[in-house]
Amino acid sequence: MSKNTTLLLIVWNVVLSALIAWGLVRSTPAAEHTDDAALLPEGAEQVVPDPIVPRDPGALKEARIAYFYMDSIQKKYELINEKDKRFRAEGQRLENSLKNEMAKAQARYDELMKKDHTYSTQADVAKDEQELQGLMAKIQGQQAKSEEQLGRMEAEMLTEITAELKDYLEVFNKENGFDYIFSVQNGGQVWVGNKDLDISDALVAGLNARYHATKGTKK
């Protein structure tokens, strides 16, 4: 039986899935060129060089950059907390159900093992052995089904949370106009130098307000 899954795995996946960067979009006029194919010898293949995109050294300097901590989203976003509680409750329910079936199977196993087969026929012994194998198969099947159900539930949670986060970031950035928004993790590989660029609290407040509004609409 799989253990209760914490949000650490979910958050790592969300970090990878929800890392969004809005790049500076700059149009570069197409270079004029002559029809060199007419100048090539017959049968020769024209080689077209890869286009060279000129760099803009001032782009990053003027870019509006912000970041948020995934740890804050994990701890304070109420949708994640609610999904986690449901996941844990369902995991506990499935675990208890499996324990009950295992207890029943163990009791029946003990009962069959205590039977006196002195006067039992070969068919009777084979029947008891078949029942024991059936009990084992039933337990293994229920365990596999429970793990599959939890895995499917976890995948659905991840999909919904990631979609909500991405969608709200789009809405948030329409009002704020950042060129880049980075998702960072405590102890991660991105070092933050300017704490004033942290928009974690603003995102959490907006996400929770949106969540409550959606929840009220569903009711």
Query: Which is it for the CA torsion 192, 26, 174, 12, positive or negative?
Result: negative
Residue 42: its pLDDT value, please? Answer: 62
Residue 60: its pLDDT value, please? Answer: 61
- Is 31 among the domain residues? no
Query: Hey, what are 211's tokens?
Result: 């969540």
- Is 6 among the domain residues? no
Count of domains observed in the chain: 1
Residue 119: its pLDDT value, please? Answer: 76
Give the whole-angstrom CA distance, residue 112 versus residue 132.
Answer: 8
- Is 55 among the domain residues? no
- Is 20 among the domain residues? no
Residue 193: its pLDDT value, please? Answer: 84
- Is 4 among the domain residues? no
The overall pTM is greater than 0.75: no
Answer whether 51's CB lies under 8 Å from 181's CB.
Answer: no
| Structural domain harbouring 136 | 65-218
CA dihedral 200, 205, 211, 215 (to 10 degrees): 160
- Is 129 among the domain residues? yes
Residue 47: its pLDDT value, please? Answer: 57
Residue 148: its pLDDT value, please? Answer: 94
26 closest CA partner among 57, 49, 2: 57
Residue 185: its pLDDT value, please? Answer: 86
- Is 97 among the domain residues? yes
- Is 92 among the domain residues? yes
How does pLDDT run along the chain (219 residues), one tens digit per residue? 444 444 434 443 443 344 433 333 333 344 444 455 555 556 556 555 555 655 555 556 678 899 999 999 999 999 999 999 999 999 999 999 999 988 988 888 888 888 887 777 888 888 888 988 888 898 899 999 999 999 999 999 999 999 999 999 999 999 999 999 999 988 778 888 889 999 999 999 999 999 999 887 665
